[in-house]
Amino acid sequence: MYLVGFYSPKAKSGVTELSVSIYHWLKSNTTLSVAFISYGSLERENTSNELIHEFSKLSVTEQKRKVKQMKKAHDITIYDASSQLSEGVLKLLPIVDRLFVVGEEHNEFAYKLQQIIQFDKIFDKNVKSFIAHLRGNKTFILQENKDNHVIGFNYTKQETNDIGQMIYTDYVTHYLNEKLIDNNEKIFRKIKKIPREDLFNGLYELGIDFEKAMLYERYVKLRELMGQAYEDALEDLFPHFMHTPFPQILDKLQAELVMISKLNF
């Protein structure tokens, strides 16, 4: 369900010790099902189906299968990437729901790592297919707070309780977001079934406000005139029309029209 990563660019920084302590805190203080993945080797922990180590020794296919399996089976999975900055780790980091870069002094590193992660999410086919593999082909993100939910840096080795509470709160928010995404996907599937020539009426019958339904239809037609495929336009615009007030949508459309008017074809 929810994957939390811990990483540090500094060798022997205590990342594994910290992430293991968080794992045990969540097991002891919540009723959630919690699992643990370590990229390296664990010497003091008894491994099991929910606590695995030496993840680096698995093939990419096996890693995909194992992560998907654990995310499906457990509420929270802790991923200890330690200080291993390999291609394998870089391919895995974009799939975490929250990443802690341990060490207050690593501000700039965390920012650069965040840029790489976001770039890979957009352009790296392997990463994109991995995300799709885990998320069931969810193609739009309704909320992504980069400071608080994708990458959490500026953290020293805080009290385990503080970080545990933070992760638990994040999990609850993530759980609600997943439910919101599921509900929106159900609506979007219905929208895709509306006949193209009857989009406005179909949107209105689904319960979308008259003004939004009318603007959605016009906006989709504009995108088509600009060369975008009909289904792509539907999908790109859907989050805006579901979760943005009408005046802001109207402003966005007007800004796009102004931009188009300035283009030289």
212-218: average pLDDT: 91
Beta partners for 3? 77
Q: What is the rounded distance in angstroms from the CA atom of residue 216 to the CA atom of residue 242?
A: 10
Which band of pLDDT confidence, cut at 50, 70 and 90, is reported for residue 243? confident
46-72: average pLDDT: 84
Using a pLDDT cut of 90, give the percent of the chain over it.
Answer: 19
**Is pLDDT larger for residue 216 or for residue 65?**
216
Q: What does the pLDDT read at residue 55? A: 83
Q: Cβ distance 217 to 196 under 8 Å?
A: no
Q: Which of 25-39, 50-64, 105-119 has the highest mean pLDDT?
A: 25-39
Mean pLDDT rounded to a whole number for the chain: 77
Using a pLDDT cut of 70, give the percent of the chain over it.
Answer: 73
The pLDDT tens digits for 108-157 are 666 677 777 777 667 767 666 655 545 443 333 323 344 443 333 334 44
Which band of pLDDT confidence, cut at 50, 70 and 90, is reported for residue 27? very high
Q: What is the rounded distance in angstroms from the CA atom of residue 112 to the CA atom of residue 245?
A: 33
The pLDDT tens digits for 82-115 are 766 666 666 666 677 777 776 655 566 666 777 7
Map residue 119 onto helix, strand or coil: helix
**Is pLDDT larger for residue 33 or for residue 148?**
33
Q: What is the rounded distance in angstroms from the CA atom of residue 71 to the CA atom of residue 69?
A: 6
Residue 159 clears pLDDT 80, i.e. is over it: no
190-213: average pLDDT: 92
Sheet containing 76-82: give its strands across.
51-52, 34-38, 76-82, 2-7, 98-102, 151-155
Q: What does the pLDDT read at residue 29? A: 93
Q: What does the pLDDT read at residue 265? A: 53
Q: What is the rounded distance in angstroms from the CA atom of residue 190 to the CA atom of residue 144?
A: 25
Handedness of CA 183, 184, 186, 187 (dihedral sign): positive
Residue 154 to residues 4, 103, 202: CA-CA distances in angstroms?
A: 16, 6, 48
Q: What is the rounded distance in angstroms from the CA atom of residue 10 to the CA atom of residue 84?
A: 9
Map residue 38 onto helix, strand or coil: strand
Residue 33 clears pLDDT 90, i.e. is over it: yes
**Is pLDDT larger for residue 130 or for residue 254?**
254
Handedness of CA 35, 39, 42, 48 (dihedral sign): positive
Q: What does the pLDDT read at residue 52? A: 87
242-261: average pLDDT: 83
Q: What does the pLDDT read at residue 104? A: 54
